Structure 1
């Protein structure tokens, strides 16, 4: 007889996850996030709890540990197949084991398995990651804690495996969430805003360079948690050097110093005013079932605002997609009063009624169309990002990046950061997230201004370092710069100089035939202890770059990616965190009860979820199964 005490899911199964505590430490434009998940088994048999949850797609997950009673087990990063085998062997032997792994298809979804939790036992899981904060159109820095995880649609015939999601409406979430943040900067913290109610901002020093905020009681789980942080005169070019870890293997990234370069290009007014307003603007609107309700309204409003703001004489077309796709003109048409009015009328009548999220087919059709001479192509994508084949989509955009720039808009709560940011990154454009009417116009106009800006060319980064010091770039070559928008470059500094203690870096580029350059000097010795944040972000950047260039038979690239992940302790799609409690005095006998911890589902249609992964089954290679639509609603 299964004990039914404690919190229950809608299926009347006990939920072993009781509470989540999130503490955020923001330093300038980088955040360190620590999440502690508290589990308790109130049943009369041992359980295995599986929780699939979202994280920012560009986060560097760098720590995973479990505490059972007074025993703390710190996980190691290992090659994924090896980690899974160790986890399965531990559970087969009756040992407690913990496994954290990133989805192989999309880096913004993780799976946490808590295995062999005995009856009456509690466990606290600590998960830590670092991430960059995006610069908003109003110069605020946006931190987002993903809470909503929507099911991802897996198109038939697509590569890899989909993501299994067990989710329930926000009103039925059976665990609690507490959230607090500390903010520090060399400059004054002007204010901190949020889409949730916050307790009053508390300054921690007279200069107001350090502050603390907490989420007010009664979190409702109906949307992701956003913080908008404003500093005084924050956005300036800068170089930060971080010391390596003395205990790391010599010659590795973690042993050497790491450097982060922030680039903020500013073009002269004379150059900006000389730009010609031309281009071919192709809009691609997601009309799948999950875009229903407020999402399609928000997407329509965003598209309508863009349509009304296009310059006369440019060219444009509008595609929409679901299981099939449509376009309003056979080919891109010249933008004039007549074509604009026709487009506005059609867009106003668009509904989320086209079924699943088959984004590859309209993209392939767009790329098959010849570009218009002297009209640079700009692709605008509007989607909630609920696709399971994220890497296939971003790879396609990258393969065609020489023919266009891609500007993406994540619509609604739970929009996939991996897809939305990935489209913009691989397409040399810019990403925005539209979660409501607030700040929509500023975001839309910023993306349009970026699209009207000519492509910055001949970008080079030149380091001037003392003799004996060399530099290795961790970031891929910089190919995109926009007026006033931050770009970050990570690099590894090897060696040291016995005399000189300073270096410099120069960024050179040209815009519309006008050369620009910016030079910054910096001390090679760190000015403060920043931990290993820059190293981890640099490792994450290198891992993502290797992953982007990894083919099926690139064994050398695969090996380097795994090596960097293990050496740095930062997760990747090819590795996983594994922790085993080898000190347990008594092995657990008998089969485990599997408990899927439900995540938060945004507003949308319901899904049928296929049978989850079972140890020892033929599904082991994929570990997660695909999501099938229950009806035509995606």
Structure 2
């Protein structure tokens, strides 16, 4: 990739000597300190520039330097002003340092240390706090990004690429080291810790499992991110943490002066039985730009990308449950939708939509996805039906950051799955994603505060509307006023939410006399949450939101795209002499800067399905109960995020889809197209032809008069799926679940047990294509 340079000279000086990371993990929050130690071994002054990844949702809140025995605290300033102060200091021969966010993504920072005199050392320390995503098995996942990969840039892109010019070396040749130690705290107990790197034994430090420490046993390899999975004894127990504000902040009522509360909600969700869930709103957004009319990567010049996407769409539509809501959008230079807003899924709406899907063409021009996304988010959500968006595209989007920001603004109300049409995996990925989307979600979330007179709670940012499986929810609030009487001991929160048709209530209490501290992780995270919303509005040109974002950043100390940290050494009496030489700190890289197709730019973070363990990442390691289990643990290594904030953001990006080309309609699709919305098939000539039998023969083999033609037709279709499409099970698993549910329902209505107990081995004469499948299925067994 152009712009990624390689460090080929082993003698080129690199002033960075080491990086030391300390982490304090409390529940689903990590407070991180990173110290970068520099030493100038050149004959003249140097400027060291280090570009590195940070989680996009991390709140960077402090920056300081030790220079020549002096400790200098950097000040947060408006970005342009900070850059000018840094430049003026360099010109005047003063040592100075600058920390700023690079680009608009929020996940790449640069640290500049200028005018480091020859023979001297400097230690720069930055601090940040971040929310920890939830693993499918309930673990809190901390990632120290060690890999900054080149960013994807569309063809002809003339905008900013923050990874250009960063020197790269093979991982084993980096001239600096990295160490990490972690302190863990949880009132509910710490069960164990896993990592993709070797760990020291887990040591409990409080005489019980509520506090522990663990470290990396050796310097980690630079070809992967460092990950810790922390398992708690009671992960699903909700909690509330109250944090005192800064006493020196005189302006009462401000975010940093008032106490702040963080509520953690991680409900235990039941595993849904396929075919039983009817809740959900499913919106399919299909790329219909001109490029979708191209052949499928040259594999079959007769099969266009739009045809493959339409086949996937048919299978998705057929797999939806009765009672849900859905809509289909097509986009290019303009966009169209099947319905003004989502409609209920019925036999009629399904049939109408399938007809329209067959007529779709790649005739809408360019690839403009932002307008349809905004139209979707403007449409009202259906109460009790969490919204989930499926995006299919092959295009290059020039305004990537605007699109991501738009999705992030609505992350509390929906989840988004994105698929590329090209070469790679199969249709099964989309169907497996739908299967996860059909799992129960938490809806109807509400909080009732129980505070003494004189106090009130104000939510910071928008509260969540839905929690999907594999997610946890952190809610921030600012407490204003003084309790009456002043010695009131506790406050309370009542959480109420719904899972399917059941309503749950959780009551929490927290002390109103919080412990003081100087890091204020809850306040910083609350500020970052607010900044993410405000910066998204700034992108749309809102001057008021820009001013509020700037004020929030400066008052909280949390860096945003509008601010930067700057520090100047004013203690040195004489200016640093000599011409200044810039040294860019190298990073580990892969040859040619080719990006791993399973990764996104910042942090080297791998994207995967929400709720699914990742793969790869090397040998698993764990620390538990003070013992070290190395080498043998099968731990899913570099797993994924939701640009919704895995970071917590609900965007999931799959590998590019490649549907098996078929010049003619595939036998599976021919059978699937005949299934009714309720999961049944009709016993008619079309079904018989799809099964490869005559209708007369199929009817003549009905086992008893108690079995209706519809039940018998559905049984035959399911038998065919098991016998003739077993290798495509991931594509018809949901269809089968609908069919089995319908058959069992019909048998219950008629009072007959014959339907569910049909034997599949002798249903049709020998030699028939669906008779005696290799492994006779028993989906209808009681």
Structure 1 gap segments, 5+ residues each: 1-7, 286-318, 340-360, 377-391, 409-415, 434-442, 608-634
Q: Offset of 1:280 from its aligned partner?
A: 5.5
**Contact conserved, 2:86 with 2:566, CA < 8 A, in 1?**
yes
Secondary structure at the aligned position of 2:148 is classed as coil
Instruction: Render the CA deviation track for 1:95-147: whole Å, top value 9, x for unaligned.
Output: 11100001231111001111111111211111111111111100111010000
Matched, 1:39 2:49: no
CA distance in 1, matches of 2:405, 2:175: 31
Task: Report if the CA contact (8 A) 1:543-1:564 is conserved.
Answer: yes
Name the counterpart of 2:314. 334
SS in 2 for 1:100: strand
Q: Deviation per CA, 1:531-555, whole angstroms, max 9, x where unpaired?
A: 5111111111111111122245422
CA contact (8 A) 1:105 1:160 kept: no
Preserved CA contact (<8 Å) 1:407 1:424 = no
Structure 2 CA distance for aligned equivalents of residues 232 and 489 of structure 1 = 22
- One of 235, 244, 259 as aligned partner of 2:261: 259
Distance 1:546 1:474 in 2: 12
Among 457, 478, 484, the alignment partner of 1:498 is 484
Q: CA separation in 2, counterparts of 1:483 and 1:65?
A: 40
Aligned residues: 514
**Using the alignment, how far apart are the partners of 1:546 and 1:552 within structure 2?**
10
- Displacement of 1:42: 1.0
Distance 1:606 1:26, change over 3 A: same
Match of 2:204 in 1: 203
Q: Rg bigger for which structure?
A: 2
Check the 8 A contact 1:420/1:431 in 2, yes or no: no
Secondary structure of the structure 2 residue equivalent to 1:536: helix
TM-score, normalised via structure 1 length: 0.71
Aligned to 1:476: 462
Structure 1 residues 545, 182: CA separation in 2 closer, same or farther (over 3 Å shift)? same
| Structure 1 partner of 2:645 | none
Shift of 1:281: 7.9
In the alignment, is the contact (CA less than 8 A) between 1:57 and 1:418 conserved in 2? no
Task: Give SS of 2:344's match.
Answer: coil
SS in 2 for 1:333: helix
Matches of 2:316 and 2:245, distance apart in 1: 58
Of 468-477 and 178-187, the range deviating more from structure 2: 468-477
1:374 aligns with one of 344, 347, 362 = 344
Q: Any idea what the Cα deviations from partners look like across 1:309-348, whole Å, max 9, x if unmatched?
A: xxxxxxxxxx999xxx944134753329999xxxxxxxxx
Query: Structure 2: which 5+ residue stretches go unaligned?
Result: 1-5, 288-294, 298-303, 320-328, 347-367, 380-386, 392-399, 419-428, 596-782
Q: Which structure has more strand as a fraction of its residues?
A: 1
Residues 48 and 584 in structure 2, CA contact (< 8 A), matched pair in contact too: yes
Give the direction of change, closer, same or farther, for the CA distance of 1:338–1:522 in structure 2 (3 Å limit): closer
Q: Which moved more, 1:443-452 or 1:41-50?
A: 443-452
CA spacing shift, 1:96–1:269, aligned 2, 3 Å: closer
1:467 to 453, 463, 467: 453
Report the counterpart of residue 97 of structure 2 in structure 1: 98
Closer/same/farther in 2, CA of residues 400 and 320 from structure 1, 3 Å limit:
farther
Counterpart of 2:530? 542
- Structure 1 residues 431 and 94: alpha-carbon distance in aligned structure 2, compared to 1, 3 A threshold: farther
Between the aligned partners of 1:119 and 1:394, the Cα distance in structure 2 is 51
Partner of 1:572: 560
1:134-190 CA deviation, whole Å, 9 max, x = no partner? 111001110100001001123367696221341423222221111111112112221
Partner SS state of residue 10, structure 1: coil
Query: SS of the counterpart of 2:87?
Result: helix
Alignment check: 8 A CA contact 2:270 2:440 kept? no
**Matched-pair contact (CA < 8 Å) for 1:149–1:602:** no
TM-score, normalising length: structure 2: 0.58
After TM superposition, the structure 1 stretch with the greater mean CA deviation from structure 2, 443-452 or 84-93, is 443-452
Per chain length, whose mean CA-contact separation is higher, i.e. which structure has more relative contact order (CA < 8 Å, sep 6+)? 1
SS of aligned partner of 1:134: coil
Aligned counterpart, 1:382: none
Alignment partner, residue 150 of structure 2: 151
Distance 1:602 1:79 in 2: 36
